[in-house]
């Protein structure tokens, strides 16, 4: 659980850096599609984006360690809590003013995580259905198609599709990590991890650059928490401590609800680019 929280700190801080960098990159004329691969190439030239990627890499290592020790639902809720980290970092580093309700939401997220920490059992040791790795690969491919479709949607719907797609991509990574015991190039879960993670970064970068990032971040939080948690409980054998299932469900709901309250911090504050 400590590794999961450390991962949230890395991801939350990286969000501030990447959001500022993505907003600083102008969209090219005629590139109003939902997913712009060239945007990602332009963004990586920004030192803030590269620093954010470095933190993402460290966070991913911590996430893998956490997924090997605690259930997916606990790790997913901790990753959603990275928005609370983003809010605090933005308040301290970028001098963003948090309202009383937003500070309360940070406290709610922390309370939800504490409930989960108390209720979580050990990770499950089941492999799930034989078709699960292939299903993950199919979902990862569908995420890329969703990004292409998003380009034809109006602004708010496009942001929601991009964010939800990015969240599902990160969710594919969470589940795939549990299905990979060693580097096996015949294992479709390995390719699902790579495709899902790459698609998620691509869609998230596009969402940060255009449209309602608050809407996109809300979709991302839902996509990376609910689906993977259900897969872990139903197919991979994740469970809670005896008699504390109600506490785990309550903690999960509280942590995710608090994170959704802080979704505006998926976007760099106005005026930061010039600074």
Q: What are phi and psi of 120, to 5 degrees?
A: -70, 135
Residues 6+ apart with CB under 8 A from 217: 83, 163, 207, 263, 264, 265, 266, 267
Q: What is the CA radius of gyration of the chain?
A: 18
Task: Give CA–CA dist 75/7, Å, rounded.
Answer: 9
Q: What's the confidence (pLDDT) of residue 250?
A: 95
Burial class (CB in 10 A: 0-12, 13-18, 19+), 202: buried
Q: Identify the weakest region by mean pLDDT among 3-12, 117-126, 164-173.
A: 117-126
pLDDT at residue 108 above 70? yes
Environment class of 175 (CB within 10 Å of its CB; exposed 0-12, middle 13-18, buried 19+): buried
Q: In the 8-state DSSP scheme, what is residue 186?
A: T
Question: Contact, 66 vs 241, CB < 8 A?
Answer: no
And the tokens for 45? 């030239």
CA 64 to mean position of chain CA atoms: 14
Distance CA 98, CA 111 (A): 19
Q: Are 70 and 122 in contact (CB under 8 A)?
A: yes
- pLDDT category of residue 32 using cuts at 50, 70 and 90: low
User: pTM of the prediction?
Assistant: 0.82
Q: What is the pLDDT of residue 4?
A: 93
Residue 240 sits at φ, ψ, to 5 deg, of -110, 175
The predicted pLDDT at position 213 comes to: 66
Helices 245-261 and 82-93: angle between axes, nearest 10 degrees = 40
Taking residues 211-236, report their average pLDDT: 86
Answer whether residue 71 shows pLDDT above 70: yes
The mean predicted confidence, pLDDT, of the chain is 85
Is the pLDDT higher at 271 or at 123? 123
CA angle 178–205–3, rounded 5-degree value = 35
Task: Please report, rounded to a whole number, the percentage of residues in the chain having pLDDT higher than 90.
Answer: 50
Q: Which residues pair with 120 in a beta bridge?
A: 240
**CA–CA distance from 160 to each of 18, 84, 213, 214 (Å)?**
19, 20, 9, 9
């Amino acid at each position: 659980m400590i590794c999961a929280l450390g991962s949230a700190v890395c991801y939350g801080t990286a969000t501030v850096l990447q959001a500022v960098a993505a907003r600083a990159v102008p969209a090219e004329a005629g590139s109003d599609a939902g997913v712009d691969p060239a945007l990602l190439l332009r963004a990586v030239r920004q030192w803030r984006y590269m620093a954010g990627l470095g933190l993402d890499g460290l966070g991913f290592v911590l996430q893998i360690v956490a997924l090997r020790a605690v259930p997916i639902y606990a790790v997913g809720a901790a990753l959603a809590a990275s928005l609370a980290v983003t809010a605090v970092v933005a308040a301290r580093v970028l001098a963003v003013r948090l309202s009383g309700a937003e500070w309360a939401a940070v406290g709610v997220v922390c309370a939800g995580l504490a409930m989960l920490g108390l209720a979580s059992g050990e990770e499950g040791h089941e492999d799930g259905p034989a078709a699960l790795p292939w299903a993950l690969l199919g979902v990862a491919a569908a995420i890329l198609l969703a990004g292409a479709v998003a380009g034809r949607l109006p602004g708010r719907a496009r942001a929601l599709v991009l964010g939800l797609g990015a969240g599902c991509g990160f969710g594919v990574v969470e589940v795939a990590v549990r299905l990979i015991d060693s580097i096996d190039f015949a294992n479709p879960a390995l390719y699902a991890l790579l495709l899902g993670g790459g698609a998620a970064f691509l869609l998230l970068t596009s969402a940060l650059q255009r449209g309602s990032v608050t809407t996109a971040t809300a979709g991302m939080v839902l996509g990376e928490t609910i689906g993977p948690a259900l897969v872990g409980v139903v197919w991979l054998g994740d469970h809670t401590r005896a008699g504390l299932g109600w506490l785990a469900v309550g903690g999960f709901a509280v942590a995710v609800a608090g994170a959704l309250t802080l979704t505006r911090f998926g976007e760099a504050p106005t005026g930061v680019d010039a600074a």
